[in-house]
Amino acid sequence: MNKRNISIIGVPMDHGQNRRGVDMGPSAIRYAGVVDRIENLGHTVNDEGDIQVGHADGSLDMDTNLRNLSVITEAMEELGEKVHNVAAAGNFPLVLGGDHSIAIGTLAGISANHENLGVIWYDAHTDMNTSETSPSGNIHGMPLAASFGHGHEKLTQIRGYAPKVKPENIVVIGARSVDPGERELIKERGIKVYSMHEIDKLGMNAVVEDAIRYLKEERNTDAVHLSLDLDGIDPIYTPGVGTPVPGGISYRESHLAMEMLFDAGIITSAEFVEVNPILDEKNRTADVAVALIGSLLGEKLV
């Protein structure tokens, strides 16, 4: 197995939505033993600590229909710089959230190191809202749109450039809660989405095989980032998430997906987000995150 230098970066941020507690996600994942789990696989781990996140009052700006815009963009600039430096040094960035708005900074840091980045978005939601289409103004529902250059300039221009990823280089897996504006954008930009309908009909094995083939052969990506929201998994396995959606991907299906991605050797960076210990049961959701990180990095059942 290819041994890697893994750099863990925590992002204790809950400003992308209005339920408190997800800022403790990085601590919960560390408490669940992520460092030991990775080191036991033979990888080298450097825990870079947490980036600094400012305070916000959670109010919705009526002019922009965005919540906590300034504090989020400040944190994402710092995260982007950190991730860029880690990736440029040849390490594997493993980012721990925090809500899913942190993907704006993660992708801003990773993309600068690659010519043709691909993204696998493992999530119950497609996160392609903008200030015009969002029913809430919560930025954690906007990071994917912002990353392909669609949305408020302060979000799309993190680290001074856009887009971070081409829409046609994105694969969404597990979607089952999609807003009307997002549906239109998916069709308009030709984004590849495997909803729960496709997973139920085809099976996870076929879905992941096709996603890998698409990104490697059709899109010829030179790197692939995995952005995994724990609410992509059915809430019977991951109760500690802020926006649970019933009828999701199973625990075992998720392990299969991670194992297949490891075997394909295409994942060069990853983030695991939306673990909220306040809503969790005995740290179960963080335990699932750590187990899936293990499978992504080469852990096998036998």
Write the CA distances from 54 to 139, 236, 257, integer angstroms: 16, 33, 35
Q: What pLDDT, on the 0 to 100 scale, is given for residue 62?
A: 85
The whole-angstrom separation of Cα 293 and Cα 164 is: 24
Residues marked as catalytic: 100, 123, 125, 127, 140, 229, 231, 274
Nearest residue to 40 via CA among 1, 98, 95, 85: 1
Q: What pLDDT, on the 0 to 100 scale, is given for residue 301?
A: 78
Return binding residues for Mn(2+).
100, 123, 125, 127, 229, 231
E strand or H helix that includes residue 226: strand 223-229
Q: What pLDDT, on the 0 to 100 scale, is given for residue 1?
A: 54
Write the pLDDT tens digit of every residue in 111-134: 999 999 999 999 999 999 999 999
Write the pLDDT tens digit of every residue in 153-203: 999 999 999 999 999 999 999 999 999 999 999 999 999 999 999 999 999
**Domain boundaries defined on the chain:** 5-296
Q: Residues 54-81: what's their mean pLDDT?
A: 93
Q: What pLDDT, on the 0 to 100 scale, is given for residue 63?
A: 86
Give the rounded distance of the alpha carbon of 49 from its chain centre.
18
Write the pLDDT tens digit of every residue in 129-163: 999 999 899 999 999 999 999 999 999 999 999 99
Q: Which CATH class is domain 5-296?
A: alpha beta
Q: What's the mean pLDDT when you consider all of the chain?
A: 96
Work out the percent of the chain whose per-residue pLDDT is above 90.
94
Q: HSE (CB half, 13 Å, CA atoms) of 36?
A: 6
Greatest Cα-to-Cα distance within the chain, rounded to the nearest angstrom: 56
Direct distance between the N- and C-terminal alpha carbons of the chain, in angstroms, rounded to an integer: 14
Phi/psi class of residue 136: alpha, beta or left (left: φ > 0; alpha: ψ in -120 to 50)?
alpha
The whole-angstrom separation of Cα 170 and Cα 125 is: 14
Return binding residues.
100, 123, 125, 127, 229, 231
Q: What pLDDT, on the 0 to 100 scale, is given for residue 302?
A: 72
